[in-house]
Amino acid sequence: MSDGTQSAPVPPSAVAVDAAARWPLRLLEVPLALAVVAGVWQAASVVVGNSTLLPSPLRVLRALDELVRGDLREDVQASLAHLGIGYGLGAGTGLALGIVSARFALVEAIVDPLVELLRPISAIAWIPIAILMFGISGSVPVFLIFYASLFPIFVNAVAGMKEVDVQLVRAAQMLGASSRMILTHVVMPFALPYVLAGARLSLGVAWMAMVAAELTGSDAGLGWRLFWYQEFFAMDKVMAVILTIGVLGYLFDTLLRALQARITRWSLESSVDTAR
């Protein structure tokens, strides 16, 4: 039960100090994590005692250097092309469906059950059908990336738009704002943190779907290269490609997190002003 007192608002300077204090730790996070992984990996390699089955980190790094001088760049470009097309179409379609569904109850009544029916089905389950439709080609990963990335951003967009303060919308209407202006200047800015969170989730599942699709249904890309080296039992190169996939995925997620923090910074500042 409330005693009628209110907690003191957190000043922006305190938030800035806290962020500054954590900055050195953040600089050490990646090196520490890599050191732990490399140590465990090296120990496992020694225990297994078979450098062909489980190559050491040093051997994998040498293989990675060899790949960088070879075909790795083309594989990365192929995967990025698949990801760019599929993710762009999936995220754009999910956002558009989310906006329309949040705006019109009839559309939501039709779309939402379909989304909830398809969303639990992994994109990997559609690989056989995608291969039958498109053959072994770049269209398979594009289709599966599109499928995987559509749902998270749709769900988050709908959730964010439903959280918009009705009083803000009514105030905008009283001031003569059109439906388009309300959408672009009231609803979307409020729902933007949800949308960006959905975009980040979509990118993660899209990246995993891309690798799985390229393993079995593509003729180019990092996943296809994994399968290629596995056929020749070149495990050092397999591990090098896996390492490349992990590093690229981490970089993409880091960029999205930075973008999310930069764009939604106004949300924290708005909360502090309101508390005052």
Tell me which residue of 197, 247, 254 sits closest to 79, measured CA to CA: 247
- Domain limits of the chain? 56-275
pLDDT, position 15: 41
pTM exceeding the 0.85 threshold for the entire prediction: no
Give yes or no for residue 17 having a pLDDT over 50. no
Which pLDDT band holds residue 89 (cuts at 50, 70, 90)?
A: very high
Joined together, the tokens standing for residue 86 give: 């599929």
pLDDT, position 248: 93
Q: How much helix, strand and coil, in percent to the nearest 5, is found in the chain?
A: 85, 0, 15
The fold adopted by the segment(s) 56-275 is MetI-like fold (1.10.3720)
Which pLDDT band holds residue 52 (cuts at 50, 70, 90)?
A: confident
pLDDT, position 164: 76
String of DSSP letters for 150-196: HHHHHHHHHHHHHTS-HHHHHHHHHTT--HHHHIIIIIHHHHHHHHH
CA distance 42 to 49: 11
CA distance 181 to 186: 8
Q: How far apart are the first and last CA of the chain?
A: 23
Give yes or no for residue 195 having a pLDDT over 60. yes
Tell me which residue of 6, 15, 164 sits closest to 99, measured CA to CA: 164
Give yes or no for residue 163 having a pLDDT over 50. yes
pLDDT, position 34: 79
Averaged pLDDT for residues 189-209: 88
pLDDT, position 96: 92
Mean pLDDT of all residues in the chain?
82
Which pLDDT band holds residue 27 (cuts at 50, 70, 90)?
A: low
Which pLDDT band holds residue 1 (cuts at 50, 70, 90)?
A: very low
